[in-house]
Amino acid sequence: MGQATASGGFRQIKRHDGIFKERVHDAYKAKGKLPEPTVCMQCGAVFRIGRWQWSAAPANAHQDICPACHRSRDHYPAGFLSLKGEYFQAHRAEIMRLVHNHELYERAEHPLKRIMEVEEKEDATLVTTTDIHLARSIGEALRHAYRGELEYHYSPEADQLRVLWTH
């Protein structure tokens, strides 16, 4: 407890027990280390050597759901990539091929990096991802290939990234 001060209030005493308030709460991160090997019951990715990877699951593998499938099932994206602008409208099919090819390239090595949904609107397209880094890297690939403007808005409390590419 605190000690009384001259004004009758209490002053804060520092804690030395190593308990810290969690800065970011991510319900999709494992609470502890998963038993190895663990196979995702939905996509077949295998947790082995401390990470999710694409490989054949041994017969004795534990079963669980990987964070990407969990996010997809809950419809709770980590990344949001908005694509807008006149150039985008004129070259939408070509640009979307780049988006999907980049996702396939990333997902081949990192099973948790996936596109969840593509929502087409009249003047824009919204791509949601299971991973903030995938949304960022797709945005960077677009800027590298087509130039344009790229904006990032990160919310540490929700561990979500919003990327806007305009051209």
What is the bridge-based pairing of β-strands 51-53 and 38-40?
Answer: unpaired
Q: Which of 158, 1, 155 is nearest to 71 (CA)?
A: 158
Looking at residue 33, its pLDDT comes to 84
The token pair at 85 is 């602008």
Q: What is the mean pLDDT of each run of 10 residues along the chain (167 residues)?
A: 50 52 59 88 96 94 96 96 97 97 97 97 95 97 97 92 97
The token pair at 116 is 């969840």
